[in-house]
Chain A
Amino acid sequence: MWPGAVAVALVVVATLAIGSLGLRLSRTTSDFMVASRTVPAFTNASAISGEYLSAASFLGVAGLLLTFGADMLWYPVGWTAGYLVMLALVSAPLRRSGAYTLPDFAEARLGSRRVRTICSVLVVAVGWLYLLPLFQGAGVMLGAALGLPTWIGPAGVASVVLVNVIGGGMRSITLVQAVQYWFKLTALLLPAAVLLAVWLGDGRPDTERLGRPDFPTDVLAWSNPLADGGAQGLYLTYALIAATFFGTMGLPHVVVRFYTNPDGRSARRSTLLVLALLGLFYLVPPVYGALGRVYAPELAASGESDLLVLLLPRIVVPGLGGDLLTGLVVAGAFAAFLSTSSGLAIAVAGVLGQDVTGRSWGGRRLGGVAAFRLGAVIAVVVPAAVALGEPSAGVATTVGLAFAVAASTFAPLLMLGIWWRRLTPTGAGAGLVVGGLGSGAAALTTLYLDGPAGWVGVLAARPALWSIPLATAVMMLVSLATQRTVPPGVRRFMVRLHTPEALDLDRG
């Protein structure tokens, strides 16, 4: 118990200390939001990866692998491949667009306040849909690992995030995130190496030899990368691929992170580095999943599989060694909760700071930094309050829904906005609304009603495969019907998006 508590305390202190390094340097609004774009590529790639690897990656993937087997490998593969899709179609032009946030991009490209507002609502929705399971998961994790009441998790993570974001904004967060990638990798890799060594020392036992009849999934299904076989399994697998491949580019915290690259080329190069860093990290969770099947299959049956990474070291290595390794993974998991929720809080706070708290209310108007700070409070407190009222878990599934909503709204907007001149404000707005309502309704159905049986339930559980094409088609068809409202500056904007910065061109 105590190594875990000490480790969590250390993570909190370290996060706040590194954060305060940035505090003295953060002065202007630009510092707060994008670290004034002075972050070098390797630091930036570490920061992107550190922020991106949430508790869903650190804890959720291993648990899903334990319970359901190989088809869950699509989650980490998809979360990584999302960056390749982003690299291929979005990253350099998005950086060159010079906007701070997704709503900024929409307004700059389409010149429409209305589309901007729709984007702002969606950023807040996706951000909260992602923050909610993280706060809930933090409660479950701290409860299981340290024996704390479940309200401590959401309250603790929310407070640390809030102090850090309000204090230093993006610059402090960039440093914190970069350090946290390497910390998380160590915290997952080191215990995994010890566990593997123990397993080899035990003479490489497998499940059959240990004879555990209580495992819910049979061996053949466990090694098949298709969900539950049949046509529905095929649909579910491809829908997961679509949501993760295209969802990454639409996540508000990921997109904001790209503005800290100095130019379009470095945005591409840091994406390449990110792919390598994520790949390195995602090699490790399957080790926990596979060894968990050997040493702790009862976790799958009891529905506590999300805790596999935390519990396995102590099950396999008894005594002080196990306690120390547990302390390390608990600290890593807590860091994972902190880093992703900080990034999401920054992104949501940025949007709220510009579009809600930054507006004049009753004749008074807050300054940029004050508006950002007030936005941060709202961004964190709302999902934390919901998580306190309803501490259910299932981190990876809910996160998957956040990806589906992002993929069904921002992915078509970015791809068409960057590559298709004929996009109109009306078309973009219609597509965003249709994609957002469709995938959002599916997400709510799955979260709050027990998913209906048969194909309807399947389509609602993983909406991306129908909602992405639907949103894209609506955007294109409505745009073609409203060609007279193509924004006038579109040519100049294309120059800005696609030409290298070295050329001395008029970019509008």
Chain B
Amino acid sequence: MSSERPQRVRVTGPARRRPPRARVHEVDAESRLGSLYLRALVREQWWLGLRTLALLMLGLGTLPVLFFALPDLAAVHVLGVGLAWWLLGVAPYPLLVALAWRHVRRAERNEDTFTALLEELDGPRSGGPDDGGRA
């Protein structure tokens, strides 16, 4: 009827918010969030290191005090060899390897957590990749 055609209208979605970015950016930009991530990692690794040293001192560092307090311990023999020679000549090495093993595993786990956290995309919060976060 009407001879006038309806005017063409361009149909678009709502404007996208900023494109998703990995949180790596926060660290590079030295934002407060980035600083927080970095500080958390450094603190975690520092306490892990101190815990490893504490276990080391507990395992080996207490031996001199032990023999100082109980001098008779030096006369004790196990399988024909003095107790001190077992405690200082043999036992420390498996202990050191075990502590090192534990430390390496935990330090790598801390780093993996940090990497996963920073590689997560920090864009639209809702849902999976399909709906693209469109309202």
Chain B 83-104, CB-CB to A under 8 Å as 1, else 0, gives 1110111101110110111011
Complexed CA–CA distance, A276 and B100 (Å): 9
**When the two chains form their complex, are residues A225 and B119 in contact, meaning their CB atoms are under 8 A apart?**
no
Kindly specify which of A184-192, A372-380, A497-505 makes contact with the partner chain: A497-505
In the complex, residue of chain A having the shortest beta-carbon distance to the beta carbon of B66: A225
**When the two chains form their complex, are residues A272 and B67 in contact, meaning their CB atoms are under 8 A apart?**
no
Question: Which chain A residues border B99 with CB–CB below 8 Å?
Answer: 84
Complexed CA–CA distance, A89 and B45 (Å): 8
- Other-chain residue from B41, B45, B93 in contact with A282 (beta carbon distance below 8 A): B93
Contact A283 B89, CB 8 Å, known A84-B56, A224-B67, A505-B28: yes
Q: Which of A229-269 contact B (CB under 8 A)?
A: 229, 233-234, 237-238, 241, 245, 265, 268-269
- The answer, yes or no, to whether A215 is at the interface (CB within 8 Å) is no
Contact A279 B118, CB 8 Å, known A73-B85, A85-B53: no
Contact A494 B38, CB 8 Å, known A272-B104, A499-B114, A500-B111: yes
**When the two chains form their complex, are residues B45 and A498 in contact, meaning their CB atoms are under 8 A apart?**
yes
Kindly specify which of B1-9, B11-19, B74-82 makes contact with the partner chain: B74-82
Contact A272 B101, CB 8 Å, known A223-B85, A225-B84, A265-B108: yes
**When the two chains form their complex, are residues A279 and B89 in contact, meaning their CB atoms are under 8 A apart?**
no
Question: Which chain B residues border A272 with CB–CB below 8 Å?
Answer: 97, 100-101, 104
Most buried by B among A80, A225, A241, A279: A225
In the complex, residue of chain A having the shortest beta-carbon distance to the beta carbon of B99: A84
Contact A70 B93, CB 8 Å, known A220-B75, A505-B24: no
Most buried by A among B38, B52, B61, B82: B82
Most buried by A among B28, B68, B83, B114: B68
- The answer, yes or no, to whether A271 is at the interface (CB within 8 Å) is yes
Complexed CA–CA distance, A85 and B99 (Å): 10
Complexed CA–CA distance, A505 and B42 (Å): 16
- Interchain nearest-CB distance for B42 vs A (Å): 5
Interface size on A, residues (CB 8 A): 53
**When the two chains form their complex, are residues A279 and B61 in contact, meaning their CB atoms are under 8 A apart?**
no
**When the two chains form their complex, are residues B64 and A238 in contact, meaning their CB atoms are under 8 A apart?**
yes
Interface size on B, residues (CB 8 A): 53
Contact A204 B80, CB 8 Å, known A85-B53, A286-B85: yes
- The answer, yes or no, to whether B71 is at the interface (CB within 8 Å) is yes
**When the two chains form their complex, are residues A88 and B114 in contact, meaning their CB atoms are under 8 A apart?**
no
**When the two chains form their complex, are residues B41 and A77 in contact, meaning their CB atoms are under 8 A apart?**
no
**When the two chains form their complex, are residues B88 and A73 in contact, meaning their CB atoms are under 8 A apart?**
yes
Contact A498 B104, CB 8 Å, known A88-B49, A275-B96: no
- Other-chain residue from B50, B61, B101 in contact with A241 (beta carbon distance below 8 A): B61
Number of A-B contacts (CB under 8 A): 146
Complexed CA–CA distance, A279 and B89 (Å): 10
Complexed CA–CA distance, A220 and B84 (Å): 11
Q: Tell me the dominant secondary structure on chain B's binding face.
A: helix
**When the two chains form their complex, are residues A70 and B28 in contact, meaning their CB atoms are under 8 A apart?**
no
**When the two chains form their complex, are residues B61 and A271 in contact, meaning their CB atoms are under 8 A apart?**
no
**When the two chains form their complex, are residues A223 and B114 in contact, meaning their CB atoms are under 8 A apart?**
no
- Interchain nearest-CB distance for A63 vs B (Å): 15
**When the two chains form their complex, are residues A419 and B85 in contact, meaning their CB atoms are under 8 A apart?**
no
- Interchain nearest-CB distance for A489 vs B (Å): 11
Complexed CA–CA distance, A499 and B99 (Å): 23
Question: Which chain B residues border A502 with CB–CB below 8 Å?
Answer: 115
Complexed CA–CA distance, A114 and B48 (Å): 33
- Interchain nearest-CB distance for B3 vs A (Å): 61
Question: Which chain B residues border A85 with CB–CB below 8 Å?
Answer: 53, 56
**When the two chains form their complex, are residues A224 and B24 in contact, meaning their CB atoms are under 8 A apart?**
no
Complexed CA–CA distance, A81 and B58 (Å): 13
- Interchain nearest-CB distance for A227 vs B (Å): 9
Complexed CA–CA distance, A326 and B39 (Å): 57
Question: Which chain A residues border B28 with CB–CB below 8 Å?
Answer: 505-506
**When the two chains form their complex, are residues A70 and B82 in contact, meaning their CB atoms are under 8 A apart?**
yes
Question: Which chain B residues border A495 with CB–CB below 8 Å?
Answer: 27, 38
In the complex, residue of chain B having the shortest beta-carbon distance to the beta carbon of A225: B84
- Other-chain residue from A81, A224, A280, A494 in contact with B92 (beta carbon distance below 8 A): A81
- The answer, yes or no, to whether A74 is at the interface (CB within 8 Å) is yes
- Other-chain residue from B83, B84, B90, B100 in contact with A271 (beta carbon distance below 8 A): B100
- Interchain nearest-CB distance for B12 vs A (Å): 33
Complexed CA–CA distance, A272 and B97 (Å): 7
Question: Which chain B residues border A491 with CB–CB below 8 Å?
Answer: 30, 35, 38
Contact surface of A with B, Cβ cutoff 8 Å: 70, 73-74, 77, 80-81, 83-85, 87-89, 92, 204, 220-221, 223-226, 229, 233-234, 237-238, 241, 245, 265, 268-269, 271-272, 275-276, 278-280, 282-283, 286, 290, 419, 491, 494-495, 498-500, 502-506
- Given A80-B96, A223-B83, A498-B41, 20 additional A-B pairs, CB 8 A: A77-B92, A81-B56, A88-B56, A89-B53, A220-B75, A223-B74, A223-B85, A225-B84, A226-B64, A233-B68, A234-B64, A238-B64, A241-B61, A268-B103, A278-B93, A279-B97, A419-B46, A500-B114, A500-B115, A505-B28
Which 7 A-B residue pairs are closest in the complex by CB-CB distance?
A279-B93, A223-B82, A73-B88, A224-B74, A88-B49, A88-B52, A70-B84
20 A-B contacts, Cβ less than 8 Å apart?
A73-B88, A77-B92, A80-B96, A84-B56, A84-B96, A85-B56, A220-B74, A225-B74, A229-B71, A233-B68, A268-B104, A271-B100, A271-B104, A272-B97, A283-B93, A491-B30, A491-B35, A500-B115, A502-B115, A503-B119
Contact surface of B with A, Cβ cutoff 8 Å: 24, 27-28, 30, 35, 38, 41-42, 45-46, 48-50, 52-53, 56, 60-61, 63-65, 67-68, 71, 74-75, 80-85, 87-90, 92-94, 96-97, 99-101, 103-104, 107-108, 111, 114-115, 118-119
